[in-house]
């Protein structure tokens, strides 16, 4: 939820970001990472949810994941696994640390 106050605060620490609302968004992004796609369609779909100058063709080569209480813990964990597997498929298991980073910021209350 890119306009939620916690999300805005977290995003303010990142130079480049893309905020996802749910697993469907994550699946779309993963497909884009693996297969490419129409850049303008991507930017239109996520309008307002990414940092100024965000370029999916270059900024999705390496991704990190942070979570706020705006998403349920189970869904967050599923999305993390999806992105990890996507980056392994694209770059190989020996390169995962160069292309995917996650941090346990998940609140157990969610």
* pLDDT tens digits for range 47-81: 989 999 999 999 999 998 877 665 667 788 889 99
Q: How far is CA 48 from CA 8, 56, 74, in A?
A: 11, 14, 25
Residue 9's contacts (CB-CB under 8 Å, 6 or more residues apart) are none
Catalytic site positions: 6
Global pTM exceeds 0.85: no
CA distance 105 to 19: 15
- Contacts of range 94-99, beta carbons closer than 8 Å, 24 or more positions apart: 98/62, 99/61, 99/62, 99/63
pLDDT > 70: percent of the chain: 76
pLDDT (0 to 100) of residue 84: 95
pLDDT (0 to 100) of residue 77: 84
pLDDT (0 to 100) of residue 74: 78
């Amino acid at each position: 939820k890119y306009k939620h106050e916690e999300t805005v605060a977290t995003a303010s620490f990142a130079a480049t970001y893309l905020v996802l609302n749910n697993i469907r968004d994550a699946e779309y992004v993963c497909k884009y990472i693996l297969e490419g796609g129409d850049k303008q369609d991507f930017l239109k779909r996520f309008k307002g949810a990414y940092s100024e100058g965000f370029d999916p063709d270059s900024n999705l080569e390496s991704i990190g994941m942070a979570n706020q209480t705006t998403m349920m813990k189970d869904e967050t964990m599923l999305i993390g696994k999806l992105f990890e597997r996507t980056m392994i498929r694209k770059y190989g298991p020996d390169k995962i640390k160069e292309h995917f980073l996650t941090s346990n910021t998940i609140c157990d209350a969610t």
